[in-house]
């Protein structure tokens, strides 16, 4: 999951060639996606930004999101190519792709079809292979806008658009696509798992789709690194699964700072309820590995017993009492005050600055 290499970015850019012919004019926004393996530096009140455009940084690199949908408009199209030319090691050669008289038509992958004879692990593998065929998006422009507060039914429409357009995707888009493709498997529970890590003073975010079936946990997702995306349905506990991701991050010199676990996503694609992305928030640095394991196992048991309720539901949350709470007592409230219902085991440390981590010997910074 290092920065994009020549092959991957050029492949993603070339794959976009067939969409340019449909482009129109319009505008787009540049934002930092909170679930797209990024670090965020924001500017208050969008001071100094042009109309219709937000500029933030992801690990020191600009990151754009196509907010105008498809067909891709002219502004988004030009901005994508300009950005690739700036950040790509062989950016000067990007014009060869743009000006090529002929580009081979990229094959559109077939959507996997579930068969009654397929086991759940085989079906999850088919879904993951389909997402890998779409490829990871290295262009610096996220093609599908994912708003986490959007109702599930709306996000499922975005998933159908991903299948229709068959463009490269990033980790947040992969979570939505994974939910859509597993809606028919009622024996499989799905929930989001988000990670915040630190490397060389910058913070990075990543998200995968956790899956649970027949007493085993696994994940679906997309990443620059093979060991930070899908995990086989073999982990006995939620803590084993999360700590496996922490070990993978350590191999890339990233320190795990926070883990956020959501609730089970409904299988009905027509519900107007948004996804609960971070019901449980764990500060890995404060809790330590053993305490974090205990909290994850408790949360996993509660999820299996299905006593946890989404903050969008009208019924109050049934929560385990465990000594003195670090957060205020929860009360039943309106759906708008969603943060009250989250179990946050991370004490606030607003004045504490993250410790600087060393870079690699060659000065190259790993982006996870």
* Rounded Cα gap, residues 312 and 315, in angstroms: 9
* Rounded Cα gap, residues 166 and 135, in angstroms: 9
141 touches 80 (CB < 8 A): yes
What residues form DSSP beta bridges with 140? none
* Rounded Cα gap, residues 123 and 119, in angstroms: 6
* Rounded Cα gap, residues 22 and 77, in angstroms: 11
Closest CA to 131 of 269, 235, 229: 229
Place of tokens 């009492």: 321
Any alpha helices (H) in 254-346, and if so which ranges?
A: 284-305
223 included as an active-site residue: yes
Q: What angle (nearest 5°) sits at the alpha carbon of residue 82, between those of residues 30 and 75?
A: 55
* Rounded Cα gap, residues 151 and 183, in angstroms: 15
**Neighbour tally for 13: CB within 10 Å:** 22
Q: Which of 206, 254, 299, 341 is catalytic?
A: 206
254 included as an active-site residue: no
* Rounded Cα gap, residues 88 and 138, in angstroms: 9
Q: Which of 12, 33, 166, 223 is catalytic?
A: 223
Q: Retrieve residue 225's tokens.
A: 């690194």
What residues form DSSP beta bridges with 344? 281
* Rounded Cα gap, residues 190 and 17, in angstroms: 34
Residues in the chain: 368
206 included as an active-site residue: yes
Q: Which of 171, 239, 311, 312 is catalytic?
A: 171
Give the residue numbers marked as catalytic: 171, 206, 223
């Amino acid at each position: 999951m290092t920065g994009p290499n020549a092959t991957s970015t050029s492949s993603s850019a070339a794959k976009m060639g067939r969409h340019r012919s449909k482009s129109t004019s319009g505008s787009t926004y540049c934002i930092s996606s909170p679930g797209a393996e990024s670090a965020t530096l924001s500017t208050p009140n969008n001071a100094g930004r042009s109309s219709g455009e937000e500029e933030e940084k992801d690990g020191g690199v600009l990151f754009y999101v196509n907010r105008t949908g498809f067909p891709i408009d002219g502004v988004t199209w030009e901005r994508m190519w300009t950005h690739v030319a700036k950040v790509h090691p062989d950016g000067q050669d990007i014009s060869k792709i743009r000006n090529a008289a002929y580009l081979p038509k990229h094959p559109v992958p077939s959507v996997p079809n579930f068969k009654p004879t397929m086991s759940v692990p085989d079906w999850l593998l088919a879904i993951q292979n389909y997402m890998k065929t779409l490829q990871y998006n290295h262009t610096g422009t996220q093609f599908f806008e994912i708003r986490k507060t959007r109702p599930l039914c709306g996000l499922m429409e975005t998933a159908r658009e991903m299948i229709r357009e068959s463009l490269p995707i990033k980790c947040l888009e992969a979570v939505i696509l994974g939910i859509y493709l597993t809606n028919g498997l009622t024996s499989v529970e799905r929930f989001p798992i988000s990670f915040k890590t630190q490397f060389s003073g910058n913070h990075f975010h990543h998200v995968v789709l956790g899956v649970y079936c027949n007493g085993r946990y696994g994940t679906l997702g997309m990443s620059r690194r093979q060991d930070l995306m899908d995990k086989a349905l073999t982990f006995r506990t939620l803590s084993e699964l999360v700590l496996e991701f922490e070990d993978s991050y350590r191999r890339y010199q990233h320190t795990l700072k926070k883990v956020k676990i959501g609730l089970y996503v409904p299988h009905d694609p027509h519900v107007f309820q948004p996804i609960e992305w971070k019901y449980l928030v764990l500060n890995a640095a404060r809790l330590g590995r053993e305490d974090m394991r205990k909290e994850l196992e408790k949360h996993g048991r509660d999820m299996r017993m299905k006593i946890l309720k989404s903050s969008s539901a009208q019924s109050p949350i049934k929560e385990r009492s465990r000594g003195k709470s670090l957060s205020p007592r929860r009360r039943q409230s309106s759906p708008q005050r969603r943060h009250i219902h989250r179990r946050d085991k991370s004490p606030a440390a607003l004045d504490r600055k993250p410790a600087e981590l060393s870079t690699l010997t060659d000065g190259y910074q790993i982006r996870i």
